[in-house]
A and B are shown apart, each in its own frame.
Chain A
Amino acid sequence: DVKVTQSSRYLVKRTGEKVFLECVQDMDHENMFWYRQDPGLGLRLIYFSYDVKMKEKGDIPEGYSVSREKKERFSLILESASTNQTSMYLCASSLRARGPKPQHFGDGTRLSIL
């Protein structure tokens, strides 16, 4: 079974702090994704990566950056946390293949910015 592990289930940070969210997958997947999930807004894609050191902006990249130094690890960085970044953050990974494949998700990090 694919396992996507997010380093923290709950995190509380202060406005202006630099915040790191870590995600590790154990299935050698090429593609990795960061989403935020808010009530009424569904899943929104922040950034994704289709290979080591490669990254592309999703639908809501403002205020975030990412790092993919190793294939198994994809980090989301909040450069200067703000209260409107309080949310559930979900990491996912998928295999890059000739045809489309499902994404597999971690259990999320619930981040509160005070």
Chain B
Amino acid sequence: GESVGLHLPTLSVQEGDNSIINCAYSNSASDYFIWYKQESGKGPQFIIDIRSNMDKRQGQRVTVLLNKTVKHLSLQIAATQPGDSAVYFCAENIRGSSNTGKLIFGQGTTLQVKP
């Protein structure tokens, strides 16, 4: 399954398939990006981050890809499980604001995993 930008707020995938969640950012001065997962009734939970000097970073079952040319960020989840059902947010830090730690958050994509 694949979502295309923030105008597709819900992504539905079959259990065991790979999921790709996309995020577009507009500020070319952004130098740090984070993906968060928010389950129902909980706060956002850090998943993985990437700095702008990298194109790809892998974690456990997750990969983040950064394409600075088109200002696009994606989160790939391998072998999606029911426990992956949640809202996923991207967030960015604009260069120069790192001392205050301010982040700009996307609207979020809801991932639904069908058994």
Interface residues of A (CB under 8 A from B): 4, 31, 33, 40, 42-43, 45, 48, 50, 56, 90, 92, 94-108
- With a cutoff of 8 Å between Cβ atoms, the chain A residues found around residue B34 in the complex are 102-103
CB-based contact B32/A90 at 8 Å: no
Select which of A4, A56, A90, A104 is within 8 A of B100 by beta carbon: A56
23 contacting pairs across A/B (C-beta < 8 A) = A40-B107, A42-B108, A43-B89, A43-B105, A48-B102, A50-B99, A50-B100, A90-B43, A90-B44, A96-B101, A99-B51, A99-B98, A100-B93, A100-B98, A100-B101, A101-B101, A102-B49, A103-B103, A104-B46, A105-B43, A107-B42, A107-B43, A108-B43
B45 within 8 A of A: yes
CB-based contact A102/B100 at 8 Å: no
Q: How many A-B residue pairs have CB under 8 A?
A: 62
Q: What band does the interface of chain B fall in when counting residues whose beta carbon is under 8 Å from A?
A: 20 to 34
Within 8 A of A (CB), among B90-115: 91, 93, 97-103, 105-108
Interface residues of B (CB under 8 A from A): 31-32, 34, 36, 41-46, 49, 51, 89, 91, 93, 97-103, 105-108
How far, in Å, is A7 (CB) from chain B's closest CB?
A: 14
Select which of A96, A100, A102 is within 8 A of B46 by beta carbon: A102
- With a cutoff of 8 Å between Cβ atoms, the chain A residues found around residue B44 in the complex are 43, 90, 105
Residue of B nearest to A32 (CB): B101
Known contacts A42-B106, A43-B105; is-contact A96 B51 (Cβ 8 Å): no
Cα–Cα distance between A43 and B92 once the two chains are bound (Å): 13
- With a cutoff of 8 Å between Cβ atoms, the chain A residues found around residue B89 in the complex are 42-43
Residue of A nearest to B106 (CB): A42
